[in-house]
């Protein structure tokens, strides 16, 4: 390491004998010093002859490093004034990482995520080791776009016993999460009109539009989606077990009306079962797919039970759509990565997955109870019979969200979920209780209770 111009007092942190070569090492050291501000704009650098002498390198090496950084815009060189540090654009003063850190909330109660700290690392590692030890060599080659037969077979049994889904392995397509499944299906439907719950997740509407579909809003009330208002839709995307974001469970009469609509009109029901395993007042409500497997595309995911980083989801399709969706998957990314599929199959077959889901159900129920206990009976809290989020009614979203921002508390807002927001819409906060770590959750609840108190 050499400090070769002590008058400026900058340690260049140079390792001239690096494997990349002396010129590349010098370029990197100078570039890093400019980027992190140790060399400020306008600083004059030593002449190449002096630099070469101080570092014990050739003058040609020093000149080549300077020339490269002049070409990249980090340095300027003018006859008679030597080589100086250039003025960099102001946008470079703040890195994306620093910007993200500055905006990170102190308390995060936004909906949509599980407690990833509860990921069953030890069980996953055991499953991964067994999967790798027993996988045939062809498992490391290109695979079936529908997914590994081991996982499709394991999912067939699990979905049948846990969610009441009729899922023969030949009708399952493994995806890289729910969003990919929705995108593939939209492409296969070829620009069809797709009804989507109002309110509902805006990003999912964007996915449908981005893949060629036309989005039609269909209202949701206290009994769930309203099938009588599906109009000319060819398909409808629903969250019947725990509607997002209202938390309503689709009423039995609505379930029958929905399947009757699909049979009578030749329509397609797309069932988003994103957190159906987590029910707290009774056994989880079975999937709509079990009532009409020929009219329902069932979409599930490991994102809420294990973690979104795994990028593992699945589609259970009516027979007439299997080949078309598999073809779309082939041309999208060929197939979902194999080793994770094999590990999940092992986790399911060993029943470690069931045990993990049961443990998570107890953990999230405790969190749900803590939320209700802290807010008390004065607050109208909806959608708490299941899932990982609750809807808290408030008279003025903007006012409460402003107080939450001042407290460093991140929340979801009902207003952003409407297809067409307007002043007459109900207002509320969408509060997720899955995301915070165990130790952070009580403090987050205190912050929530504080911002919900009317200002004095």
The pLDDT score that the predictor gives to residue 265 is: 94
Contacts of 316 (CB under 8 A, 6+ apart): 159, 165, 166, 167, 171, 172, 289, 293, 296, 297, 298, 300
Instruction: Answer for the pair 185, 297: CB distance below 8 angstroms, yes or no.
Output: yes
Q: Check pLDDT > 90 for residue 107.
A: yes
Provide mean pLDDT across the span 173-189. Answer: 98
In this structure, what DSSP letter does residue 146 have?
T
**Model pLDDT for residues 275-333, shown as the tens digit of each residue:** 989 999 888 889 999 999 999 999 999 999 999 999 999 999 999 999 999 999 999 99
Query: Is the bond into 245 cis (omega within 30 degrees of 0)?
Result: yes
Provide mean pLDDT across the span 221-229. Answer: 96
Of 104, 106, 110, 111, whose CA–CA distance to 407 is shortest? 106
Q: Check pLDDT > 70 for residue 143.
A: yes
Same fold, 103-116+355-452 and 119-354: no
Provide mean pLDDT across the span 223-232. Answer: 95
**CA dihedral angle for residue 305, residue 310, residue 316, residue 317, rounded to 10 degrees:** 150
- Look at the domain 119-354 and name its fold: 3.40.640
pLDDT band at 456 (very low <50, low <70, confident <90, very high): low
**Model pLDDT for residues 373-391, shown as the tens digit of each residue:** 999 877 889 999 999 999 9
The pLDDT score that the predictor gives to residue 189 is: 97
Q: Sheet holding 412-413: strands in order across? A: 381-382, 389-393, 428-432, 412-413
Hey, where are the domains in the chain?
22-93, 103-116+355-452, 119-354
How far apart CA 143 and CA 282 sit, in angstroms, is 40
- Look at the domain 22-93 and name its fold: Arc Repressor Mutant, subunit A (1.10.10)
Residue range 103-116+355-452, CATH number? 3.90.1150.10
Q: Check pLDDT > 90 for residue 90.
A: no
Q: Which two tokens stand for residue 379?
A: 């607050």
pLDDT band at 51 (very low <50, low <70, confident <90, very high): confident
pLDDT band at 40 (very low <50, low <70, confident <90, very high): confident
**Model pLDDT for residues 319-351, shown as the tens digit of each residue:** 999 999 999 999 999 999 999 999 999 999 999
pTM of the model: 0.79
């Amino acid at each position: 390491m050499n400090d070769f111009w002590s008058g400026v007092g900058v340690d260049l942190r140079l390792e001239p004998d690096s494997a990349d070569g002396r010129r590349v090492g010098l370029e990197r050291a100078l570039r890093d010093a400019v980027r992190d501000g140790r060399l400020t704009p306008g600083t004059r650098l030593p002449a190449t002859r002096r630099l070469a002498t101080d570092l014990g390198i050739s003058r040609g090496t020093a000149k080549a490093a300077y020339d490269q950084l002049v070409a990249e815009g980090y340095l300027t060189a003018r006859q008679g004034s030597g080589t100086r540090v250039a003025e960099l654009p102001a946008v470079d003063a703040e890195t994306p990482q620093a910007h993200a850190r500055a905006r990170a909330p102190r308390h995060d109660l936004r909906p949509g995520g599980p407690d990833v700290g509860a990921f069953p690392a030890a069980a996953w590692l055991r499953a991964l080791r067994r999967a790798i030890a027993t996988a045939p060599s062809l498992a490391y080659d290109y695979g079936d776009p529908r997914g590994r037969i081991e996982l499709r077979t394991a999912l067939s049994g699990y979905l049948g016993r846990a969610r009441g889904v009729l899922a023969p392995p030949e009708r399952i397509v493994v995806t890289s999460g729910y969003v990919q499944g929705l995108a593939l299906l939209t492409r296969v439907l070829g620009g069809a009109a797709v009804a989507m719950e109002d309110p509902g997740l805006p990003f999912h509407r964007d996915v449908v539009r981005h893949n060629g579909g036309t989005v039609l809003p269909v209202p949701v009330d206290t009994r769930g989606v309203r099938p009588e208002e599906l109009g000319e839709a060819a398909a409808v995307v629903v969250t019947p077990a725990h509607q997002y974001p209202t938390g309503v469970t689709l009423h039995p009469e609505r379930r029958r009306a929905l399947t009757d609509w699909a049979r009578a009109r030749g329509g397609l029901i797309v069932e988003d079962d994103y957190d159906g395993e987590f029910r707290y007042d009774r056994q989880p409500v079975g999937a709509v797919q079990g009532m009409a497997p020929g009219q329902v595309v069932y979409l599930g995911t490991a994102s809420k039970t294990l973690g979104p980083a795994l990028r593992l989801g699945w589609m259970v399709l009516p027979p007439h759509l299997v080949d078309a969706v598999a073809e779309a998957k082939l041309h999208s990314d060929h197939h979902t990565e194999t080793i994770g599929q094999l590990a999940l199959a092992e986790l399911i077959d060993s029943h470690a997955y069931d045990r993990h889901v049961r443990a998570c159900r107890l953990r999230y129920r405790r969190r749900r109870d803590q939320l209700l206990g802290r807010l008390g009976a004065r607050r109208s809290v909806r959608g708490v019979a299941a899932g990982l989020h609750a809807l808290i009614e408030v008279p003025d979203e903007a006012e409460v969200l402003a107080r939450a921002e001042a407290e460093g508390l991140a929340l979801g807002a009902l207003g952003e979920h409407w297809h067409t927001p307007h002043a007459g819409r109900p207002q509320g906060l969408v509060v997720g209780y899955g995301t915070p770590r165990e130790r952070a959750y009580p403090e987050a609840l205190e912050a929530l209770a504080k911002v919900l108190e009317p200002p004095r």
